Amino acid sequence: MTDQDKESTKISELIGYEKNNVWDKLAEGEKELIFDFCGDYKNFLDISKTEREAVKNIISSAVERGFADINQGENKNGKYYYNYRGKIAVLARLNGNSLARGLKIVAAHVDAPRLDLKQNPLYEEQDIALLKTHYYGGIKKYQWLARPLALHGVFVLTDGSIKEITIGEDDNDPIFSIDDLLPHLSRKSQESKKLSEVFIGEKMNIIAGSIPLENKEEKNRFKMAVMSYLHENYGLTEKDFLSAELELVPAGKARDLGFDRSMVASYAQDDRVCVFTAMKALFDVENPSENILAFFMDKEETGSSGNTGSDSRFLEYFTGMLLDTIGEEGRPLTVLAHSQCLSADVNGALNPDYQDVHEKMNAAKLGYGVCVTKFTGSGGKYNTSDASAEFMGKVRRIFDEAGVVWQSGELGKIDEGGGGTIAKFFAAYGMDVIDCGTALLSMHSPLEIASKGDIWNTYKAYKAFYEAGM
Ligand code: MN
Ligand code: MN
């Protein structure tokens, strides 16, 4: 090696930048902590298969830790939860500082792509009872065929009472499935077509039964046999489907993936990986130096519209409620404008088989820590809030000081496609917002994959953000 070579090595080490793999950066005993943490995370995934279930579990974890319903008024420990329509959860830890200083917010979403049942779902065809679905969010339809599905949801009866239903998660439960065509007969109707034309929303019908009612005088004996089952077991009539929200999700539990068990494979890690890590981070901060909050929003996967989505006035409404609860004079818009937010959502990790869709210098990589995404959107940065360099600089300092393994990631090649998060709806209030979450393989599929090291560093990142001052 010449003197010149030695010199250049030093310069690259001094002022160059290379990403770190989390497994190369483990502290003593950290691997055990990571695996334990991910055990709890998998349990959370297993009981939180819908937005309603996630909200319920977030709130019961909060109650266990002394959080009180904000509707009960001010409390001594400053720990509050709010359950909005069973579909948004907010956790707050107030430390006595004026809210006008601004809030430190981590905001994730509790909804995930799935198949909803239509309002008139039940019919029969060729002596099989079937249920019509309407997919929710961005799915690749073929991934939902010929696989075990579980039914979760609620029926609301005309007297306002709610019947909850979960079928397909217990080992002894039956499951549901959508049939796919056998390869022997799919040459013309599937294989010669474009992928976007092969699978049709109206053919995503759930097989729900095949034993008819005994009385041959009855009409629709196969359909009505399913209806009688629902009537006998849940007291339901066919009309009750009209006021129901029933979701088909992949049946089964989150699992470790790989010989080394270094990854978690599960449905709905987008975005429940950020939900779980944000919740734990908020719980685990010792003495918050600022007022810290976690928002768990609904409807992100369908564009955040609706009264439980982020593109609503909910944030303003809730902040007003927060001010009222502690008796602080002030305006919600002022509080929000002074706030800082990590938009806690996942990013797509570089796919080893389809590297071409990514721009490798700026793609998030599995195992390289929590991913910070300065902007999302598509094309020429359309529909994104694009965080400022100043806020990125602040977040960078916080993460580096706390020893968080993190990377910057952009969703794909510029002209390849794109996507958005709830960041822009929070940014609309004037606060600083940046996207920050775990990178996933097979994102939006029924079996999303995350690195346990990345999950852990997502938790560490949110906790460091909460612990840092404004
Ligand atoms: Mn998401
Ligand atoms: Mn998503």
**pLDDT averaged per 10 residues, the chain (length 470):** 61 91 97 98 98 98 98 96 98 97 98 98 98 97 98 97 97 97 92 91 98 97 98 97 98 98 98 98 96 98 97 98 97 98 97 94 97 92 92 98 96 87 96 98 98 98 97
Would you say residue 259 lies in a domain?
A: no
Note whether residue 9 is domain-resident. Answer: no
Classify strands 104-109 and 292-297 as parallel, antiparallel or unpaired: parallel
75 and 121 co-located in one domain:
no
Q: How far is the CA of 311 from the centre of ligand 2 (A)?
A: 16
User: Of 218, 250, 282, which residue constitutes the final position of a domain?
Assistant: 250
Q: Which amino acid is at 267?
A: Y
Residues 161 and 226 in one domain: yes
CA distance 455 to 264: 9
| Ligand number nearest to the C-alpha of 423 | 1
CA of 300 relative to ligand 2 center, distance in Å: 7
Partner residues linked to 89 by β-bridges? 83, 296
Q: Examine the domain organization and report whether 213 and 273 are in the same domain.
A: no
* Structure confidence at residue 13 (pLDDT): 85
Q: How far apart are CA 177 and CA 199, in angstroms?
A: 15
Question: Domain check: are 341 and 440 in the same one?
Answer: yes
Residue 82 lies in a domain: yes
pLDDT given at position 20: 96
In this structure, which ligand is nearest to the CA of 422? Answer: 1
Among 219, 250, 281, the domain boundary falls at: 250
Which residues, by Cβ under 5 Å, contact ligand 2, an ion?
270
- Does any domain span residue 56? yes
Question: Which ligand has the shortest distance to the CA of 137?
Answer: 2
Distance from the CA of 424 to the center of ligand 2, in angstroms?
15
Ligand nearest to the CA of 136: 2
Alpha-carbon distance of 269 to 280, in angstroms, equals 15
Assess whether 108 and 128 both reside in one domain.
no
CB atoms < 10 A from the CB of 191, how many? 10
Q: How far does the centroid of ligand 1 lie from the alpha carbon of residue 345, in Å? A: 5
Supply the pLDDT for residue 4.
58
> Which of 220, 250, 280 is a domain's end point?
250
271 C-alpha vs ligand 2 centroid, how far in Å? Answer: 7
Which residues is 164 bridged to in the sheet? 154
- Identify the CATH number of the domain in which residue 186 sits: 2.30.250.10
Are 33 and 76 in the same domain? yes
pLDDT at res. 283: 98
Asked if 48 and 84 sit in the same domain, the reply is: yes
- pLDDT at residue number 5: 58
The alpha carbon of 232 and the centre of ligand 2 are apart by a number of angstroms equal to 38
The reply to whether 3 falls in a domain is no
User: Are 135 and 162 contained in the same domain?
Assistant: yes
238 belongs to a structural domain:
yes
Cα of 44 vs centre of ligand 2, distance in Å, is: 18
Ligand 1 centre distance from Cα of residue 406 (Å): 18
Distance 112 CA to ligand 2 centre (A): 7
Question: Which one of the ligands is nearest to 439 CA?
Answer: 1
> Pick from 61, 41, 46, 52: which is nearest to 88 by CA?
52
* CATH number of the domain within which 363 lies: 3.40.630.10
Residues 6+ positions from 329 with CB-CB distance below 8 Å: 323
- CA of 261 from ligand 2 middle (Å) equals 25
Note whether 198 and 216 are same-domain residues.
Answer: yes
Q: How far is the CA of 217 from the centre of ligand 1 (A)?
A: 50
Are 44 and 68 found together in one domain?
yes
Q: Clarify whether residues 428 and 306 are in a common domain.
A: yes
Ligand 1 centroid distance, CA of 73 (Å): 32
Domain count, the chain: 2
**Residue 137 alpha carbon to ligand 2 centre in Å:** 8
Return the half-sphere exposure (C-beta side, CA atoms, 13 A cut-off) of residue 102.
15
Does 258 map to a domain?
A: no
| Distance from the alpha carbon of residue 40 to the mean position of ligand 2, in angstroms | 22
301 alpha carbon – ligand 2 mean position (Å):
5
Query: Domain check: are 45 and 147 in the same one?
Result: no
Q: In this structure, is residue 256 part of a structural domain? A: no
Q: For residue 462, what are the domain limits?
A: 18-112+267-467
CB under 8 Å to 457, separation ≥6 — which residues?
22, 369, 370, 404, 405, 406
d(CA 14, ligand 1 centre) in Å: 36
Structure tokens at 296: 């768990």
* Cα 454 to Cα 364: distance, rounded to the nearest angstrom: 11
- Name the closest ligand to CA 346: 1
* Residue 99 Cα to ligand 2 middle (Å): 31
Give the Å distance between the CA of 42 and the centre of ligand 2.
19
Angle at 403 between CA 397 and CA 406, to 5 degrees: 75
Q: In angstroms, what is the span from residue 444 Cα to ligand 2's centroid? A: 6
CA of 211 to the centre of ligand 2 (A): 38
CA 265 and chain centroid, separation: 14
The pLDDT of residue 12 is 86
